[in-house]
Amino acid sequence: MVAMAMATVPVLAFSALSVLSFASDDLDTLDMLDKVVAGYEEGLNLLQRKNQRQTVRMQEQHEASSNETAMWQGARETGNICMWSNCEQSLGPTECYHFRCVCQMDFVYSERVKQCVHRYTPEGREVVLPQDTGATCYFNDCTAKFTVCSDSKCLCIPGFVYLAGQG
C-alpha cells in the first residue's frame, strides 16, 4: 500500500506540473490574444474616426451643393422671376422656386422655343447632354451600368447615350 502511495505522488506532481505548464502556455497565449485584440480595436477606432471625418466632409459638400442648387437649377432655369405673381403660362410647366421660375422636374428650358420642354423630347435633348442620365451621385456611386460620376451627376461612359427606356 505504501508503494502504491509513493507511486501516486510523482504522478500527481507530474500532473500539477503539466497543469502549471499548460497555465503558463495559456497565459502566453492570452497575452498574445490581448495584444491582437488591442490591435484590432485600435484599427477599428481608426476606421471609425476616418468614417466620421468622411461623413462630416460629405455632409459639408452636400450642404454646399444644396446651397448652390437653391441658387441655380441649371437647365431648368427660365430666367424669369415670380416675386409678386405666378410664373407665366407661356413658359410651360414651371414652379416658383426662390422667387425664380424654374421648369418642373424632368423638364428643361429651351431657349429656341422659349418654354419648358420634357428632357426626352427632341427639343429637350438639344438642352441636356445625351450622356446625362438625370441621376446624381452626391452620396452613392452611380447604380446604372456604363455610367460614371462626374460633378455629382451620373453620366454615360463615352460611346453610350441615355435613352430612358426609349430604345
Domain ranges of the chain: 66-128, 129-167
- Residue 33 predicted with pLDDT over 60: yes
Residue type, 126: E
pLDDT of 51 reads 72
Sheet holding 100-103, edge to edge: 77-81, 100-103, 94-97
98 Rama sector, left if φ>0, alpha if ψ -120 to 50, beta otherwise: left
The grid cell for 42 is 485600435
Please tell me which residue, 25 or 138, carries the higher pLDDT value: 138
pLDDT of 70 reads 46
- pLDDT tens profile 52-100: 777 767 666 655 554 444 445 678 889 999 988 899 999 999 999 889 9
Other residues' Cβ atoms within 10 Å of the Cβ of residue 127: 21
pLDDT of 59 reads 66
74: buried, middle or exposed (CB in 10 Å: 19+, 13-18, 0-12)?
middle
- Residue 50 predicted with pLDDT over 90: no
pLDDT of 96 reads 92
Of 117, 112, 113, nearest to 76 (Cα)?
Answer: 117
Note the pTM of the prediction, 2 decimals: 0.42
Task: Quickly state the pLDDT bin for 7 (edges 50, 70, 90).
Answer: very low
- pLDDT tens profile 123-134: 887 877 777 887
Q: Report the SS3 class of residue 61.
A: helix
Please tell me which residue, 11 or 156, carries the higher pLDDT value: 156
